[in-house]
Structure 1
């Protein structure tokens, strides 16, 4: 079964489940209303007949049944949230498969960095980007991990192969991937940066954990609670006696404590609550702020812990989810989540009344601090594990949707790239594939060709496939071999008015970084599109020649596109490291066409005049 067929089948399945769950929810709502009305009628009838025992029994039964149905209603609603999320995920997967992914909401625009070595030129982030195409990470850390994978150089070949093995395993685990995505998707506020949460968990309020402080708070709040309850019972006894004209019936023990005792105790506790209140409020505010995030982390960890993996890379990741005593991360975060849930519900009318009596703030703070001591050193590891798996699942989507793309082989030695039928991964059915072989003997490929013939697209094709290869992802090719190199590009430059930088100077700064990297004896892969296009033709030609010679001598690997056909003569120089390639166009029925196929040699054609004529510019070719 193809990926598209699988997505359609799952979409139909979840759509059907969703409808059934909605029907159950509606039926339960109707049943709750019916039970409420019927119970009210029976209660009224039994009361008028003075069947007080039956009245109490029916009332209790109605409350229990109503609460049970409310509980059942909530469970089915939660299940439906997951069903709806999984339906949307498969709907999105179908759109991605069919090429309709440029409307996806998360484009990764927050990661755009015009000064990065290559990500801006290669459309790694932003509208119509690689990130927008494949991202299925919903947590802040997951998105960050995916960004790092595509923008940081891999440590070595083994790190790439380890990630490849993880991607191959996750490719087949479609349920695991989609359920992990659904866990993140159903919580809307999970993209908050957890840096504040990580820092807060490492902070300490040591005074609150002193034994004498804890015993004082427990005993004092317990005494206040008991004395307050005795007074409350006494007041209720007075009220009932007055209403029903009967003698007071509360035991005498409730009349032993004077009214002023609980009042005095509550006043003392109110003063105690002011001590270091700011520290406690910070605890409560952060716990409330990240309550939804912590729920998400807990649910994602539960899902991860249920699965067994074979890939050594993922196994090592999941080992971080258990401490030395064998306690799982999900159980530890579940305890924290329950504390945060209670704190998040403090904004009700009872809290201001109960807090001076029970000193709830202190007891919550004690619970938080105790949890911090147990889990502070592990929490960030757990969240990073979630993020890493989200990023790997995003890459696995590429492999699942494109099973015929190859996993690249990473080789050692001099810089090289060899590819068979390599195409641009974001172009879908529009892509045209080319073979490529660039080795140490001729490491610089000079690409000429007319306007719109495909020079820039070809270089972006090379760059984005290299980025995929280094990420441990499949590449859009039948075969792909490369070495690990520092990737640099200078393709998309523009004026920066804020910094008073012209496009030409911005290009110079990018090229400066490439030259510096090559002098540092790094293995550099460079992509230069229309080098020095911001200056006159003589300076451009001279500058380009010097630059090409310098970069080719350093043992780098590179691609340079140009309209300057004279640069092609450098191939014939003694000990030249340059090889000429070109893209060309052809004409049919007075229309221009491009085949986007890479050919050997300098371009024999030009189309600028033809395009000017199409624009309505009258050109006298006799002059």
Structure 2
């Protein structure tokens, strides 16, 4: 790539040199001490060379950008596998790639059942482990898939497609490079474009329908009068009068047509650079039929091919993108050009507009599948979960947290009993309790999106995940930490009891799946006695619902209530302290049966030097 960059730089210099030499020789040919023929010939050759260099330079720049995209894709892949988040983001930023799901605010929705707790989105997140989704619909689709579980049949359909893409890394990389080469579309621009697709025609809603005939006839009349005037056949006032009329009409219609062009995307280049990506997916030949349903909307139907129609739209929008410039005003008056542009866009919208949402939806799904396939390829030891209908259940072998590297991850076998039981996880601070809950939640979410999960094996039924882990108080809303946790737990219990088929987000189900609840350090914000009573009541509510889940606690007495003791499967983590020399606290992160038998709060106090009496 360095050689290509050097060649492009040399061509830029040569292009400038030939232009300067050619221009100077032609301009000064009569003032030189040699025959004018010689500088005329040399100057013409130099300008011809300039044109050839311009064409060559453009081709090499396109090639260089493609090679940079391939280089970026390789760098991102290495950083992704190494979990080197700063370097990964640096590589993306260097290329100019932006993804809203990698922004810090992407996981800030605390009202969602689990997004704020499971690190699915954000700079150091599960999203960073997945492949790229350059289009606006790709990011939207991936967010939707990771924000709500799909029915088992849909999960199986996605799994089959992910397997096909995961087994074809070369083809997937080719598609990813094409994706990197498109211009990114902002969310607001994409929404505006979708509104434009369904908006009423600009003719005659904002501009009279007869304007299209006038746009052809009036400039022709003006040109004819101008030619006649040049032969002294008519007075100058004739063609000036029609030109003034054109100016009045152009100004009268210009405001409405300018807004029309902006809504269509004339000021958003990203909407005009998608046709190569559509063409790449159209020509892609998968190794199996699992992608056929997803690719079907992109295949030619009724004489329409997505890539060709998107290219046609790009040409119209390219022409409209100069709206507001000085030269555009000249065209708009002389030719009533805006009317012709709007008429062309209306013809395109009548022909292909209805199919565009399905095309971009298909593109978004294919990009989301490719992103999941990247994870499956990067982590061949991970598995696709076996998801089937039946009584709620979750059983995993060698379950780990996907954001931890292979060298630091300590997998555990985890089983969540059916309704009426729960997993009670105890252990000291920093021993791995919260990580275990997140591992369970991420496996359930990724698995029901169609992805592989960080486990040797996972068998589960469809589940709705709901977490209560990162709780924040709010000074502005006057909500304490304890109240915030209570409100979160109230929402969790209500979700566990919600079994109606009309529940938001689960219209595809006969009834919403059972709830998978994950509660970390239940009710930390009050005294021990009241916390124990309140926690027992909340867990009892969950045991009475059709839900399964896990609860972590430091309170070893929480299980002493007979019902909770009988209903809980007890597991724990432990730590060790090196008592000789500098005291070092270490953990093996091995999940063991039973309750924790050790505590470490005072040991930690001593390690940081705060154990002495004041």
Compute the TM-score of the two structures, normalised by the length of structure 1: 0.86
SS in 2 for 1:280: helix
Moved more, 25-34 or 313-322: 25-34
User: 1:191-590 alignment to 2 at 5 Å?
Assistant: 191-193=186-188, 194-203=190-199, 204-207=201-204, 212-228=210-226, 234=230, 254-287=231-264, 289-310=266-287, 312=289, 314-322=291-299, 324-346=301-323, 348-428=325-405, 429-440=407-418, 443-521=421-499, 523-570=514-561, 573=563, 576-588=566-578, 589=580, 590=583
Q: Does 2:80 align with 1:96?
A: yes
Which runs of no fewer than 5 residues in structure 1 stay unpaired?
1-17, 235-253
Deviation at 1:46, TM superposition (A): 9.3
Deviation at 1:539, TM superposition (A): 1.0
User: 1:37-48 alignment to 2 at 5 Å?
Assistant: 39=22
Q: Name which one, 1 or 2, has greater alpha-carbon Rg.
A: 1
Correspondence for 1:608 among 601, 604, 607: 601
Q: 1:244 aligns to what?
A: none
Correspondence for 2:585 among 564, 581, 592: 592
Deviation at 1:348, TM superposition (A): 4.6
SS in 2 for 1:424: coil
- Separation (CA, whole Å) in 1 of partners of 2:277 and 2:25: 46
- Separation (CA, whole Å) in 1 of partners of 2:564 and 2:294: 53
Moved more, 90-99 or 202-211: 202-211
Q: Does 2:28 align with 1:28?
A: no
CA offsets per residue over residues 403-449 of structure 1, 9 Å max, x none?
11111111221111111111100011211111112232873011111
Deviation at 1:76, TM superposition (A): 1.5
SS in 2 for 1:446: strand
Q: 2:62 aligns to what?
A: 78
- Separation (CA, whole Å) in 1 of partners of 2:267 and 2:274: 10
- Separation (CA, whole Å) in 2 of partners of 1:67 and 1:468: 53
SS in 1 for 2:443: helix
**CA contact under 8 A between 1:318 and 1:385: conserved in structure 2?**
yes
Q: 1:12 aligns to what?
A: none
**CA contact under 8 A between 2:196 and 2:264: conserved in structure 1?**
no
**CA contact under 8 A between 2:29 and 2:36: conserved in structure 1?**
no
Moved more, 311-320 or 74-83: 311-320
Q: Does 2:150 align with 1:172?
A: no
Q: Does 2:130 align with 1:134?
A: yes
Alpha-carbon spacing, 1:493–1:528, altered in 2? closer, same or farther (3 Å): same
Alpha-carbon spacing, 1:123–1:546, altered in 2? closer, same or farther (3 Å): same
- Separation (CA, whole Å) in 2 of partners of 1:574 and 1:31: 81
Alpha-carbon spacing, 1:441–1:351, altered in 2? closer, same or farther (3 Å): closer
**CA contact under 8 A between 1:189 and 1:293: conserved in structure 2?**
yes
Which runs of no fewer than 5 residues in structure 2 stay unpaired?
90-98, 500-512
Deviation at 1:190, TM superposition (A): 2.1
- Separation (CA, whole Å) in 2 of partners of 1:316 and 1:551: 40
Q: 1:250 aligns to what?
A: none
Q: 1:15 aligns to what?
A: none
Alpha-carbon spacing, 1:542–1:216, altered in 2? closer, same or farther (3 Å): same
SS in 2 for 1:499: coil
Deviation at 1:202, TM superposition (A): 1.9
Alpha-carbon spacing, 1:502–1:311, altered in 2? closer, same or farther (3 Å): farther
**CA contact under 8 A between 2:522 and 2:553: conserved in structure 1?**
yes
**CA contact under 8 A between 1:139 and 1:387: conserved in structure 2?**
yes
- Separation (CA, whole Å) in 2 of partners of 1:229 and 1:531: 88
SS in 2 for 1:557: strand
Deviation at 1:59, TM superposition (A): 6.7
SS in 2 for 1:121: helix
Deviation at 1:75, TM superposition (A): 1.8
SS in 1 for 2:118: coil
Compute the TM-score of the two structures, normalised by the length of structure 2: 0.87
**CA contact under 8 A between 2:570 and 2:593: conserved in structure 1?**
yes
- Separation (CA, whole Å) in 1 of partners of 2:62 and 2:322: 19
Alpha-carbon spacing, 1:293–1:583, altered in 2? closer, same or farther (3 Å): same
CA offsets per residue over residues 511-537 of structure 1, 9 Å max, x none?
112212222345111001111111111
Q: Please tell me the root mean square deviation across aligned C-alpha atoms, in Å.
A: 2.9
Correspondence for 2:120 among 124, 148, 151: 124
**CA contact under 8 A between 1:162 and 1:313: conserved in structure 2?**
yes
